Amino acid sequence: MTDLAQLVPYDEALSRYEPVIGLETHVELGTATKMFCGCPTTFGLEPNSAVCPVCLGLPGSLPVANRAAIEFTIRIGLALNCSIASWCRFARKNYFYPDMPKDFQISQYDEPLCTDGWLDVDVDGRAFRVGIERVHLEEDTGKSLHMGGATGRIHGADYSLVDYNRAGIPLVEVVTKPVAGTGVLAPEAARAYVTELRDLLRCLGVSDVRMEEGSLRCDVNTSLAPHGAADWGTRTETKNVNSLRSVERAVRFEIARQAAVLDAGQKVVQETRHFHEDSGSTTAGRSKEEAQDYRYFPEPDLVPVAPARDWVEQIRASLPELPAARRARLQADWGLSGAEMTHLSNAGAVDLVSATVEAGASPAEARKWWLGELARRANESGTELSQLAITPAHVARVSAMVRAGTLNDQLARQVLEGVLAGEGDPDTVVEARSLAIVSDEGALAEAVDAAIAANPDVAAKVRDGKTAAAGALVGAVMKATRGRADAERARELILERLS
Amino acid sequence: MAAGGAGMARELTRLTAAEIAAAVAAGDVSAVEVAQAHLDRIVAVDPDVRAFLHVAGIGALAAAEDVDRKRAAGEPLGPLAGVPLALKDVMTTTDMPTTCGSKILDGWRPPYDATVTRRLRDAGVVILGKTNMDEFAMGSSTENSAYGPSHNPWDLTRIPGGSSGGSSAAVAAYEAPLAIGTDTGGSIRQPAAVCGIVGMKPTYGGSSRYGLVAFASSLDTPGPLARTVLDAALLHEVMSGHDPRDSTSVDAPVPPVVAAARHADVSGLRVGVVTEFSGGGYQSGVRARFTEAVELLESLGAKVVEVSCPHFSYALPAYYLIAPSECSSNLARFDAMRFGLRAGDDGTRSADEVMSLTREAGFGAEVKRRIMLGTYALSSGYYDAYYGKAQQVRTLITRDFDAAFEQVDVLVSPTTPTTAFPIGERADDPMAMYLADLFTIPSDLAGNAAISVPCGLAPEDGLPVGLQIMAPALADDRSYRVAAAVEAALQERWGGPLLAQAGELGEQAGGGR
Ligand SMILES: [Zn+2]
């Protein structure tokens, strides 16, 4: 275990060392069936119910590659500006593990389907180009559940169960080139890359990219070298970092830890490390000396993948507008600054605002609600904006009512609250909670007269020309109508009567 | 059973598959009678031959009844409906165990049928049972079976070849007119040769590997064994064809093998004799019969030329790197987790320990030897020198074939350098055992078609010699055409099939039934 007391404070570490990061991201593809058989890929089924001789690796069974998975991988490769191989092979990665049905994984080794691309990411308004080394296709393993122990880990467990439903689900691995030059922004850059990749994959429709369900998983490589050093430092690979926040924390921790090691005159050990969500720390796993020899060789049960050029071009032509291009377009359409757009993007609100605008709201209205009241609500309940029980159409409807004067901002917030509470669509909530602005002149006049009568001193001041004092009378009208009055109209009526 | 009944049953087991199918289709005999006659024969001779690991009497009779019912109902019958068959125990079957001759799969009942199994059932072929084999098809004698060796019906003290030795012995002992074998380095052709029957290795990918428990994926090829060339062709046609479950399966029509087997004519055909195969190392009687066969082809109108295939000399070492490499990976799944044997799982041991103990207890010596060879050959730092180099040799051998087939239509050689050797003779000498596949391995590495057809007995031991006829990939029919011509001419010379010269099983010394 690392002694936490020995960590070098982050800023101090960065004052002496230059970090280089790298990310390996595994993405479960959203194909209907598994990579090499016809079993469904549905998440959360009864354990070992989505299995067959092929994905159980029974003797005699053979894999047949899923064309949709190959197409999805090519889509990802093209979206990441990669070259697509005209001919490549699957390879076997051999190692023994109970949740690996065949005791080898069908993967790609030195002949990946997609190579040499890039993805631009934005970190606090600074653009970084992250090089993509390769994108390759492989199959997922089953899942071991360790029973009887306190930790759910294999050590201390009484026995283990294996669920093979996940075995054979198509998995794409996206590997970056080393990312240097991010300096103090390395943790944020790592997070921004994964965020951008996630949005890209979602936009491509190739995965549901749910980190909490494990359909997007990251390994984070980090190394440090003294400023000005000719060579990069020895890297560590932190495995299974499974949330955006954890990606950032893992890099931050490794920088602080490796700086301590280097400060002490020791060498960073090339090893895999485990990330601990609770403490935000990493601990040592397998070192390079203990690393397995996977004995890769071309998979003889599968014919090579040779995507026809015109097929690749068809796929390229069918790519949707990618998140970065779309953001640039929307930023221009909506007249936002770069910082405003980044804020919207970081909040995960671009799609929501866009859909709200499409449903009739102005960009300013849509941003106001999603980044204001709704962001506050999401934050309070600890969920993502997109998980809130409200649709862009609802928000557009509320905006329209405000614009029409049927609601004011305060009433609108109450309507949103009602929608989020499951009371129905905005119109239903307005009806049920009687939230519409009182626009009946007679009722408003009554409330105005009552307010003047009840506040003779204030009324006198207004009569004397101190029109600013009318605010108190408006407040009284609002109170009497429980906020449903049109404040502007009430003010007009008050000034008419006291002029 | 009455004497006449026993006589008729004996006759039924002497019929060819083509004759049985015709008789069943015509209603001259029922499929059940045919199946029963063969089951009786198995009971009578298999205690000596030991061709079968599992006999499925009830299942066979049920399948036969189904054929009889279909015939009675006037439903169309396939060309082999009602014909009994012996299935190598490497093909999965839902109604029978599948052991691959290994303890590690003792008692395993696959939940699915191999594509070949399924096609046989659909065609009304009556599967009598599963035949013995060298463990995971690694061997040339069946001596590597965990269940003991099978015996050559020509001489029970000798090997029936391997790895498909149970299949070849069953056919030669009249326990079945047809059998399925698999060929990885010669495992169909060599046992066929030493048992005096016909065995065909189809073009790689011509017959499906789905449900064939893999030894070496890039080489394994299921194929037919039979007593006549026509029977082999009939089975070849029924079992073959594209299978979407096997990615390496050829998506092309099955070559016209049955028509070729009926077209026994080699006039004008160019036949090549491989120079590199004419060196020393083979038995004089094998050489004599081979030379005669070549002269026979010439007398039948073929044009015989010598062809050089310079890289064939490297085929054996290349094979013994590629096949073990693939096997070391293919056999990893025997890890005690989901099926088969589990040793040492007493609640105190880790999964790794149980895997090791199971593999230690479940695999035989030859399997372990090849797993270790393959693991070594694929290891980081050795890959290029071993596996990588062997693949290059493989490419060169394929090119040798391509060049040869520009000059000739087929290549011929002895199938195997010697006749059946005595059980135990090479058991402790793996290198001597490996030499049995010297002539068959090139076609496995190149993936082309090759057949073995009987060409006489070696004078010194009176045991059968096989002639191998190699044809280009997807030209399987050419092998059949030449084999049929050789078969017809030699049977005319012999006055009947070669197998008729084998002694009756009960009369052999050591037989005694
Ligand atoms: Zn499956």
Q: How far apart, in whole angstroms, are the C-alpha atoms of residue A89 and residue A107?
A: 9
Q: Say which residues have a Cβ less than 8 Å from residue B61's Cβ, sequence separation at least 6.
A: B32, B35, B36, B39
Instruction: Determine the pLDDT at residue B190.
Output: 98
Among partner residues A60, A62, A293, which is closest to B380 by beta-carbon distance? A293
Distances (CA, A) of B18 to A103, A114, B5, B127, B232: 44, 54, 22, 16, 10
- The Cβ-side half-sphere exposure at A41, using a 13 Å CA radius, reads 25
- Identify the closest residue of chain B to A99 by CA–CA distance: B337
Number of A/B CB contacts below 8 angstroms equals 101
Q: How far is the CA of B246 from the centre of ligand 1 (A)?
A: 14
* Largest distance between two CA atoms of chain A: 99
CB contact under 8 A, B110 and A60: yes
pLDDT tens track for A239-274: 989 899 999 999 999 999 999 999 999 999 999 999
Interface of B with A in 39-98 (CB under 8 A): 91-92, 98
Kindly state the tokens that stand for B36: 């029963």
Residues in A closer than 8 angstroms to B244, CB to CB, are 64
B365 and B412 in contact (C-beta within 8 Å)? no
Angle at B6 between CA B3 and CA B8, to 5 degrees: 110
The owner of tokens 């209205």 is A365
Shortest alpha-carbon distance between residue B171 and chain A (Å): 25
The strand pairing partners of B306, in sequence order, are B273
Q: Where are the domains of chain B?
A: 10-311+398-505
Tell me which DSSP letter residue B384 carries.
I
Residues in B closer than 8 angstroms to A149, CB to CB, are none
Q: Is A483 on the interface with B (CB under 8 A)?
A: no
Residue type, B430: P
Q: Which helix (H) or strand (E) holds A492?
A: helix A487-497
Per-residue pLDDT of chain B (513 residues; tens, 9 = 90+): 344 466 777 799 999 999 999 999 999 999 999 999 999 999 999 999 999 999 999 999 999 999 999 999 999 999 999 999 999 999 999 999 999 999 999 989 999 999 999 999 999 999 999 999 999 999 999 999 999 999 999 999 999 999 999 999 999 999 999 999 999 999 999 999 999 999 999 999 999 999 999 999 999 999 999 999 999 999 999 999 999 999 999 999 999 999 999 999 999 999 999 998 887 678 999 999 999 999 999 999 999 999 999 999 999 999 999 999 999 999 999 999 999 999 999 988 988 999 999 999 999 999 999 999 999 999 999 999 999 999 999 999 999 999 999 999 999 999 999 999 999 998 888 877 788 888 999 999 999 999 999 999 999 999 999 999 999 999 999 999 999 999 999 999 999 999 999 999 875 544 433
**CATH class given for the domain over B10-311+398-505:** alpha beta
Domains of chain A (ranges, CATH numbers): 4-315 (no CATH), 335-433 (no CATH), 441-498 (1.10.10.410)
Sheet containing A281-287: order of strands: A83-84, A114-123, A126-139, A170-176, A17-28, A216-226, A236-241, A271-276, A281-287
Residues in B closer than 8 angstroms to A58, CB to CB, are 92, 110-112, 338-339
In three-state secondary structure terms, B127 is strand
Distances (CA, A) of B55 to A288, A414, B58, B60, B106: 53, 79, 9, 9, 15
Of residues B49, B169, B144, the one with CA closest to residue B433: B144
- Identify the closest residue of chain B to A106 by CA–CA distance: B329
- Identify the closest residue of chain B to A96 by CA–CA distance: B332
Q: How far apart, in whole angstroms, are the C-alpha atoms of residue A169 and residue A35?
A: 5
Say whether the peptide bond before residue B163 is cis (omega within 30 degrees of 0).
yes
Catalytically annotated residue among B141, B145, B150, B163: B163
Whether residue B187 lies in the annotated active site: yes
* ipTM for the whole complex: 0.95
Residue type, B143: E
B440 and B190 in contact (C-beta within 8 Å)? yes
Q: Count CB-CB contacts under 10 A for residue B298.
A: 13
Residue type, B301: G
- Identify the closest residue of chain B to A36 by CA–CA distance: B245
Write down the H helix ranges in B173-262. Answer: 189-195, 229-239, 257-261
Of residues B421, B419, B416, B507, the one with CA closest to residue B459: B419
CB contact under 8 A, B111 and A301: no
**φ and ψ of B465, to 5 deg:** -120, 140
pLDDT tens track for A61-90: 999 999 999 999 999 999 999 999 999 999
Which runs of E-coded beta strand occur in A140-234?
143-147, 159-163, 170-176, 216-226
CA end-to-end span of chain A: 79
pLDDT tens track for B453-467: 999 999 999 999 999
Catalytically annotated residue among B187, B413, B452, B479: B187
The owner of tokens 């201390």 is A156
Whether residue B163 lies in the annotated active site: yes
Whether residue B379 lies in the annotated active site: no
Q: How far is the CA of B377 from the centre of ligand 1 (A)?
A: 31
Write down the H helix ranges in A56-134. Answer: 67-79
B482 and B470 in contact (C-beta within 8 Å)? no
